Each structure stands twice: as structure tokens, then as C-alpha cells.
């Protein structure tokens, strides 16, 4: 399975599980994310979703081994038309937290930016390298990034594709907390449990999201 689910009461942990590929997003993982978040949306007993990656990092971006295969290109086009996974995640009616360690590159960073907040370990590495290789961010990065940081930072990061690290991501407003790697899970779970104590989180989420549309 390319996704693992772990339930803790009203909290669901969704783990990207392609560790040998650094959790790179292929068609099967994209389909699994879409199905998972559709189920999450319809489960009234859930309130918080934590998104994380297994192994050495969160997500290294799109699986480039799929490129150049005609059947895969057509498959990707079909998936995008039928399953807008990025929009399902962005508009999820649960509070979403990205738990970030290691690489969060390309579509991996874009996926994290669709969540309500991002908490990173101090070893996290970020980049939007698409433009540097003649491509465009495909998961809404050109819209998500300027919602989180100022326009100049967004332009610089998207145009240069340069890597930046946890402290810089915090300074840019892309991540909200940085913690040591061995404290990451505990910190994120504590944050999720705090959300559950806030009776107005849904109203706050709705109003804040609406302000950026």
C-alpha cells in the first residue's frame, strides 16, 4: 500500500508510504490520496488529519520515472480531469497539519502548502525546482506559495528553484514551528489535540480560508 492510515480518536494520520522512492507522487499515490481525502471529507467523526511521509523524508515531489511514457501521460491527464486531488485536500473540511521531515520538494512542498499548518523538523529541506528544469509547479504551488509568504519571496523561490531549510521556511511563514526530529511526532500530536479543544476551529478555518480565495 502506498498510503497507511492510523486512527487516534478524532485524529487521522495519513502516511505517504513509498519510502524507496522518497514518497515521490505517482499515479497510484495520487489516486490513493484522492480516495483517502474523499473518505475523510465524508467522515463526520474525524476532525484533524495529519499528513506525513515514511522513511527519510516527507515527499521528494513527482515521480519523474513516469515522464516520457505515453500511456502514463494519458493516465495522468485522465486522473487530473476526474480526480482533482489537490483541490480535495485544499478544501478539506477537517483541520489539516503537514508533519515535515527530510525532503519536501516540488509537489511534496506543494502538498504540504495545501494544509492548514505545517510543522517541520530541523532537518527539513524545501524547494520548488520545476521552473529550473523547464516545468511549472503542477499542484497549485504558484497560488499556495504567495498565500503563505510575500510576493517577492514567492517569485524568488519559484523562479530560482533553490533549496531552503527549516529556519528559512519559518522566516518566510511557510512553516509555523520547527522542532528537533525526535520531538516532531509528539509536537504535532499535541497540536492536533489542542485543535480538538477549540470549539470554534471550523469557523476560524472557514473565515481565514475565505479571506485568501
| pLDDT the model gives residue 212 | 78
**Catalytic option among 69, 110, 167, 207:** 110
The position carrying cell 503563505 is 148
61-115 pLDDT tens trace: 888 776 555 455 445 555 554 468 999 999 999 999 999 999 999 999 999 999 9
Tally: H helices and E strands in the chain: 9, 9
Q: Active site residue: 35, 130, 167, 193, which one? A: 130
pLDDT, position 195: 97
- Pairwise CA distance, residues 171 & 21, whole Å: 29
Of the chain, the percentage scoring pLDDT greater than 70 comes to 85
Query: Has 193 been annotated as catalytic?
Result: no
Structural Rg of the chain based on CA atoms = 16
**Rounded to the nearest 5°, which phi and psi values hold at 109?**
-65, -40
Tens of pLDDT, residues 161-213 = 899 999 999 999 999 999 999 999 999 999 999 999 999 999 999 999 898 77
Helix (H) / strand (E) containing 63:
none
Is the pTM here over 0.75, yes or no? yes
Q: How confident is the model at residue 154 (pLDDT cuts 50, 70, 90)?
A: confident
185 grid coordinates: 511526532
pLDDT at 161: 86
Domain residue spans of the chain: 3-210
Q: Is 110 annotated in the active site?
A: yes
Instruction: Note the CATH architecture for domain 3-210.
Output: Alpha-Beta Complex (3.90)
Amino acid at each position: 500500500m502506498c498510503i497507511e492510515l492510523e486512527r487516534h480518536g478524532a485524529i487521522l494520520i495519513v502516511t505517504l508510504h513509498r519510502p524507496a522512492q522518497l514518497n515521490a507522487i505517482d499515479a497510484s499515490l495520487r489516486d490513493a490520496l484522492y480516495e483517502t481525502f474523499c473518505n475523510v471529507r465524508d467522515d463526520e467523526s474525524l476532525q484533524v488529519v495529519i499528513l506525513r511521509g515514511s522513511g527519510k523524508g516527507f515527499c521528494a515531489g513527482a515521480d519523474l520515472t513516469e515522464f516520457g511514457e505515453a500511456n502514463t501521460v494519458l493516465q495522468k491527464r485522465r486522473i487530473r480531469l476526474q480526480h482533482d486531488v489537490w483541490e480535495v485536500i485544499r478544501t478539506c473540511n477537517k483541520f489539516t497539519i503537514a508533519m515535515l521531515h527530510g525532503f519536501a520538494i516540488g509537489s511534496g512542498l506543494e502538498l504540504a502548502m495545501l494544509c492548514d499548518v505545517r510543522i517541520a523538523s530541523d532537518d527539513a529541506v524545501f524547494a520548488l525546482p520545476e521552473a529550473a528544469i523547464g516545468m511549472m509547479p503542477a499542484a497549485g504551488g504558484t497560488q499556495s506559495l504567495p498565500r503563505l509568504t510575500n510576493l517577492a519571496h514567492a517569485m524568488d523561490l519559484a523562479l530560482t528553484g533553490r533549496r531552503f531549510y527549516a529556519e528559512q521556511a519559518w522566516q518566510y511563514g511557510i512553516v509555523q514551528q520547527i522542532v528537533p526530529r525526535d520531538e516532531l511526532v509528539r509536537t504535532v500530536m499535541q497540536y492536533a489535540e489542542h485543535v480538538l479543544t477549540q470549539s470554534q476551529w471550523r469557523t476560524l478555518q472557514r473565515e481565514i480560508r475565505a479571506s485568501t480565495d
